[in-house]
Amino acid sequence: MTQFAGHPDPSASSGRLRQRLNELGAAVLSIDPAGTCVLAGPHRWEHGLVVSSAPFVSAVKSQRASLFDTTIRRIDLWPGLVIVPIPASKSRMNAGGHPCDSPVTAALLFGRDILEADQLARVCDAEQTDLRAAIDKFDHGSLMSPGETDRLVQVIEWMARDAADLGWRLHELHDLSWELAGSYEELSLLYKLSTSMVVDHPPQAFLEQACAEMREVVGLSWLAIQLNTQEPGFADLTVPVCVDNQCAYDLAGIRKIGPQLIDAMDGRFKPVVLDDARVLGIPGLEHIAHSLLITPLHTEGKQLGLLYGAGKTDHASGFSSVDSKLCASLGSSLSIYLKNLLLFEDMHSMFLGTLHALSTTIDAKDSYTQGHSERVALISKQLARAAGLDAHTVERVYLSALVHDVGKIGVPESVLTKPGKLTGEEYDLVKKHPETGARILEGIRQMQDLIPGVMHHHESWDGTGYPHGLAGHNIPLFGRILGLADAFDAMSSDRTYRLALPMNKVLDEVRRCSGIQFDPDLVEVFITLDFSKYLNMIEGHHDLRRCA
Ligand SMILES: [Fe+2]
C-alpha cells in the first residue's frame, strides 16, 4: 500500500501553544528527565538569567517528580516564580502520564514577588551579577500580580488541553486518512480487476497483471495463482508468479508446490493463514516460505485453483485478519473471472464445433472437396499469422475460412459434382455461392466480421473475379487471404475434372499468378509457409475418401 511520509509532527500544535505563551509574557522551558532546563523560543533577559543559574537548576531537579506528574497543575518554585507543566499530546503518553524518557515542556511565569525573593539574590550571586542592576534590567511591566498569575495558569491549562486534543485529533485524522487510502487502493484494484475481466482478452495476460497488482496491494514478497489443471479450460494457462524484485526467489520451487497445495486445500473454501507452513508436509516448502497465505478460488463448490503467497513486505507483522479478508475479496473476484472463462471456453468450443459441423456438411456434398474448408481454414490461419496479423484477427480469418463456402448449400449437388465442364447457366449458379453465404451469415451478429471473407474469396487481384469484380486492395483482406488459400487447396487436391498437382507446380502457379489473381504481398509470405501440417491433412482426407 502507499506509505505516507509519517504521522503529522506532534510538535506542530505545541509549537503554536509556545508562540501564544510567548505572546502572553511567559517563557517556555524544556526540561529533560535529568532536570536539565533549556529555554525554547524567544524569552526575556531575566528568564535567561534565572534559568541558567545553579539555584534554579537545583530547585527544578528537586521538583522532578512533580514535573512528570500530570495531576499537578502548577509548581510554585519560588515566590513570584511559577512553573506550569504542559501535558504532552495523548498519543505520546504512557498510560500513567508523560513518557518517562521524553523531555517535559513547561511555561515559566514571573510575578512581581520575585523581585523581593531571597532566591533572586542567590541567582545573582551565582551568576556574579549585581542584584540591583539585575532588577533594573527586568521588564517590570511584564511581571504579574498573584491574581494575574492564577488566571494565566488557568488559561495555560485550557490552552494545553486544547493543544493536546488537537494533536490527538491530527493523529486520528492521519490514521483515518491512511486507512482510507489503503481501502481506496483495495477498492480501486477490485474495480480494476472487475473491469479487466473481459474473457475474450488473453487470459494469461490478465492473470499475470492481476497477480502482480494483488501482490502489491496485499504487500507480499511473492504471490502465485495455481489453477486446477483438471479443468480443460485452463489447459493453456501457466502459473503466474509475481515477486518483489528486490529479492531472489526460487520461481520453479514456488510453481512446483502449487498442485500440492491444491490437493491439500481440496474441499476448503476459506482463506487459510499458516504461521508454520511445515504443517502441510510438502517437501521443499520450508525453503520457500515459513508462513503462507492461501486463498482458494472456487465456484459453486467446484475448486478452480488458489492464490498463495508469502512474506509480508513491511516485515513489521505477520499476516493479519485484514490480509485474509482482502485476499478473500480478491479471490472472489478472481473466481468469478475464472468461472466466466470456463463458460466462455465452453461456449467457444461449442461455437467452433458448430462451424466445423457446418463446413463438413457443405464439403460432404462433394466427395472430392471433403476436408476442403478445414484445409483452407488451416492455410488461411497460417498465412494470416505469417502476415503479422494479431491473434484475434488470425482466429477470425480461420473461422471465416471455415465457412467460406457455406453458400454452396444453395448449389445443386449435380452441379457441384459434375465431372465435365459446366454450362454457362451452371457456372452462374456456382458463382452465386459467395453472396448466398454472406446472406446466410447476415443474421448472425457474432459472425458479421466473417462475411467479407465469405463474400470476396473469389475476387481476383486484377478485377476479373466475382461476385463484385473488385481489384487490388479494394478486395477486403479476408477475401484476399481466403482466395489464395482456396485456390491453393483447389490445385493441391483431386477434383472431379483433374488430379491434384504436385506441390512444386502448385507453388509455381501461385508465384505466376502473383499480382494477377493474388495479392503479391501475400504471395511473398505464402511461399514461406510450412505445408507439412496441410499435407498431413490431405493424406487424412484421402484415406477417408478411400474408405467411403
Ligand atoms: Fe468458394
Handedness of CA 184, 189, 190, 196 (dihedral sign): positive
Dihedral of CA atoms 58, 62, 86, 26 in degrees, nearest 10, equals -40
Q: How many Å lie between the centroid of ligand 1 and the Cα of residue 346?
A: 30
* pLDDT at res. 213: 83
197-340 maps to CATH 3.30.450.40: yes
* pLDDT at res. 301: 84
Tell which wins on pLDDT, 498 or 128: 128
Amino acid at 356: H
Q: Where are the domains of the chain?
A: 11-171, 197-340, 364-547
- 374 Cβ contact list (under 8 Å, min separation 6): 356, 359, 360, 363, 402, 537
70: exposed, middle or buried (Cβ count in 10 Å: 0-12, 13-18, 19+): middle
- Assigned C-alpha cell, 393: 484477427
Residue 416 has pLDDT above 70, yes or no: yes
Tell which wins on pLDDT, 202 or 427: 427
DSSP for 189-221, written as a single string: HHHHHHHH--TTS-HHHHHHHHHHHHHHHHTEE
Q: How many Å lie between the centroid of ligand 1 and the Cα of residue 443?
A: 20
User: Is residue 246 very low, low, confident or very high in pLDDT (cuts 50, 70, 90)?
Assistant: low
Closest alpha carbon to 144 in 57, 79, 67? 79
Q: How many Å lie between the centroid of ligand 1 and the Cα of residue 354?
A: 19
Lowest-pLDDT choice from 54-58, 366-370, 484-488: 366-370
Q: How many other CB atoms are there within 10 angstroms of residue 503's CB atom? A: 15
User: Is residue 93 very low, low, confident or very high in pLDDT (cuts 50, 70, 90)?
Assistant: very low
User: Is residue 545 very low, low, confident or very high in pLDDT (cuts 50, 70, 90)?
Assistant: low
Average pLDDT over residues 245-260: 81
Q: How many Å lie between the centroid of ligand 1 and the Cα of residue 459?
A: 10
Residue 255 phi, psi dihedral angles, 5° rounding: -65, -35
Q: How many other CB atoms are there within 10 angstroms of residue 404's CB atom? A: 32
User: Is residue 97 very low, low, confident or very high in pLDDT (cuts 50, 70, 90)?
Assistant: very low
Q: How many Å lie between the centroid of ligand 1 and the Cα of residue 457?
A: 6
* pLDDT at res. 463: 97
Lowest-pLDDT choice from 16-20, 218-222, 401-405, 538-542: 538-542
* pLDDT at res. 546: 54
* pLDDT at res. 496: 63
Residue 405 phi, psi dihedral angles, 5° rounding: -105, 20
* pLDDT at res. 397: 97
Cα 274 from Cα 121, distance rounded (Å)? 72
What top-level class would CATH report for the domain 364-547?
mainly alpha
- Assigned C-alpha cell, 334: 478472481
Tell which wins on pLDDT, 7 or 405: 405
* pLDDT at res. 33: 80
- 144 Cβ contact list (under 8 Å, min separation 6): 25, 109, 110, 111, 112, 152
Q: How many Å lie between the centroid of ligand 1 and the Cα of residue 349?
A: 25
- 312 Cβ contact list (under 8 Å, min separation 6): 219, 220, 221, 318, 319, 323
- Assigned C-alpha cell, 260: 500440492
Q: How many Å lie between the centroid of ligand 1 and the Cα of residue 391?
A: 25
Average pLDDT over residues 411-439: 91
Residue 67 has pLDDT above 80, yes or no: yes
Q: Give the mean pLDDT of the chain.
A: 85
Number of Cα atoms under 13 Å in the Cβ half of residue 187: 6
* pLDDT at res. 118: 93
Q: How many Å lie between the centroid of ligand 1 and the Cα of residue 431?
A: 8
* pLDDT at res. 200: 61
Phi-psi category of residue 425: left, alpha or beta, with phi > 0 → left and psi -120 to 50 → alpha:
alpha
User: How far is residue 467 CA from its own chain's centroid?
Assistant: 51
CA 118, 123, 125 angle in degrees (round to 5)? 95
Residue 101 has pLDDT above 70, yes or no: no
Q: Is 389 helix (H, G, I), strand (E, B) or coil?
A: coil
What percent of the chain is predicted at pLDDT more than 90?
39
Which chain residues have CB less than 5 Å from ligand 1, an ion? 405
Closest alpha carbon to 439 in 451, 431, 449? 451
User: pLDDT tens across 367-379, in order?
Assistant: 777 889 999 999 9
Contact 91, 10 (CB under 8 A): yes
Cα 490 from Cα 487, distance rounded (Å)? 5
Amino acid at 252: A
DSSP for 269-322, written as a single string: -S-EEESSGGGG--TTHHHH-SSEEEEEEEETTEEEEEEEEEEETT-S----HH
* pLDDT at res. 7: 47
User: pLDDT tens across 179-236, in order?
Assistant: 777 677 777 777 777 666 666 677 888 888 888 888 888 888 888 999 988 888 888 8
User: pLDDT tens across 288-316, in order?
Assistant: 888 888 999 998 888 899 999 888 766 56
Q: How many Å lie between the centroid of ligand 1 and the Cα of residue 433?
A: 7
Amino acid at 211: C
Cα 319 from Cα 220, distance rounded (Å)? 10
Q: How many Å lie between the centroid of ligand 1 and the Cα of residue 406?
A: 8
Cα 254 from Cα 309, distance rounded (Å)? 9
Residue 403 has pLDDT above 80, yes or no: yes
User: Is residue 6 very low, low, confident or very high in pLDDT (cuts 50, 70, 90)?
Assistant: very low
Q: How many other CB atoms are there within 10 angstroms of residue 410's CB atom? A: 14
* pLDDT at res. 427: 92
Closest alpha carbon to 385 in 394, 377, 376, 395? 394
In angstroms, the first-to-last Cα distance of the chain is 67
Q: How many other CB atoms are there within 10 angstroms of residue 429's CB atom? A: 18
Amino acid at 154: Q
Number of Cα atoms under 13 Å in the Cβ half of residue 212: 6
* pLDDT at res. 254: 87
Highest mean pLDDT among 100-114, 227-241, 309-323, 380-394 belongs to: 380-394
Q: How many Å lie between the centroid of ligand 1 and the Cα of residue 106?
A: 98
Average pLDDT over residues 323-333: 84
Q: How many Å lie between the centroid of ligand 1 and the Cα of residue 548?
A: 24
User: pLDDT tens across 495-537, in order?
Assistant: 766 677 899 999 999 999 999 999 999 999 999 999 999 999 8
User: In which element (H, E) is residue 29 found?
Assistant: strand 27-31
Cα 223 from Cα 230, distance rounded (Å)? 22
* pLDDT at res. 167: 77
Q: How many Å lie between the centroid of ligand 1 and the Cα of residue 445?
A: 22
